[in-house]
Structure 1
């Protein structure tokens, strides 16, 4: 029960943060949506340890796990624009395929780079440990 309450509070905090970023985007007349600005700002805050991961981890994990639910309105909206799909369906599929491929390639390269970095740190730590015990 405690974890559910913590998750609820964290989701509430993330929603408030997104709302604030949306208001800032509107106030500054930016063409970038506040939610995107919020993601970038939150990423920077997490990287600089201004915001600790444990402060938003449970809520963030739940939001990611239920991400598919957030796309249902988009799928229903597509039904309204059937003529758009008929006229431009191949182009839309091509854009989805290309953009998904780019995301998968970049994610794979980033994961590989992170794994190599972690492996180097482990090897360096082992080397230092072995050298200090000789």
Structure 2
């Protein structure tokens, strides 16, 4: 039960952080999404050890595990634009396939670099 409460608290913390970043972007009229700014700031805070990984790890793992559920509304929303799919479906499909391939390749390269760094570090 404590793991459940800890995870829920971490998810709440991440959600509040996301809302604050969105308000900050709106307030300063920045041309970067609040979510991207939030990821950058969380990354910086984790790297500088201002916040510890244990404070957000459980909640972040759960959110990543359930990430697919967050895309279901957008996938269902596409149905409203049937004419776009009929007229430009091939182009949309090509963009999806190529962008997915690029993301997969970049993720693989980054993961490879991280693994190489971990192998080089003495334990």
TM-score by structure 2 length? 0.92
For the pair shown, which has the larger CA radius of gyration, 1 or 2? 1
Question: 1-side partners of 2:48 and 2:16: how far apart?
Answer: 21
1: CA distance, partners of 2:44 / 2:90: 37
Cα RMSD (Å) of the superposition?
1.3
Equivalenced residues, count: 123
Pairs within 5 Å for 1:53-64: 53-64=53-64
- The answer to whether 1:94 aligns with 2:94 is yes
1:24-39 aligned at under 5 Å gives the runs 24-39=24-39
Moved over 3 A (4+): none
Give TM-score, length-normalised by structure 1: 0.85
Residue 47 of structure 1 corresponds to 47
Shift of 1:79: 0.6
For the pair 1:105 / 2:105, whether they are aligned, the reply is yes
- Between 1 and 2, higher relative CO (CA 8 Å, sep ≥ 6) is seen in 2
Q: 2:50 aligns to what SS in structure 1? A: coil
Matched residues in 2 for 1:96 and 1:21: separation? 28
Q: Which consecutive residues of structure 2, in runs of 5 or more, have no partner in the other structure?
A: none
Partner of 2:5: 5
Q: CA deviation at 1:31?
A: 2.7
Runs of at least 5 residues in structure 1 that lack an aligned partner in the other structure: 126-134
